[in-house]
Homo-oligomer: A and B are copies of this chain.
Amino acid sequence: SSLRDRLPVQAPTLFEAKAAKNLTFEDIAKQLGRNEVAVAAIFYGQAQTTSEDAEKLADILGVDKSKLGMQLAGYPFRGQVMDMPPKEPLIYRLYEIVQNYGYAYKAILNEKFGDGIMSAISFSTKVEKETDKDGNNWAIITLRGKWLPFSRF
């Protein structure tokens, strides 16, 4: 199914208001007190909002509070938006990093932490921009997850 069909109900409300107000995710994030990746994730239905978040968002974007509140109520159905493997080139590059370096990450993480995983739930992430002395831009994505050792049973 098309991306449009897979977007959550709040997506059109949020994206249209953001475009109308000419706000960046960074602007919204600052006012909301959350990270800009989390804000974009809310737009795409991949992160939860508290009812306080929902109210603030409605204020920031100038949309109807009760309508947005209802759209954001409940628990996200994460992962529905993306068809894997990703066809979008930007997102594919991240997928390719997992494909190419996955076993290397596992080897290093096991060596450093033992038998377990880096949580994707007790987890945060951020995106930064760096410009080197030659004027090249670099994107830096940081993934920070709690280490969960496998239980012994």
Residue numbers of A with Cβ under 8 A of B are 1-6, 19, 24-26, 34-38, 40-41, 43-44, 46-48, 50, 73-82, 84-113, 115-127, 129-130, 136-153
**A89 to nearest B CB, angstroms?**
5
A49 to B6, CA, bound (A): 25
A89 to B77, CA, bound (A): 9
How many chain copies does the complex carry?
Answer: 10
**Is B104 within 8 A of A3, CB to CB?**
no
Residues of chain B with a CB closer than 8 A to A95's CB:
84, 95, 98, 102
Query: Nearest B residue to A118 by beta-carbon distance?
Result: B139
**A93 to nearest B CB, angstroms?**
4
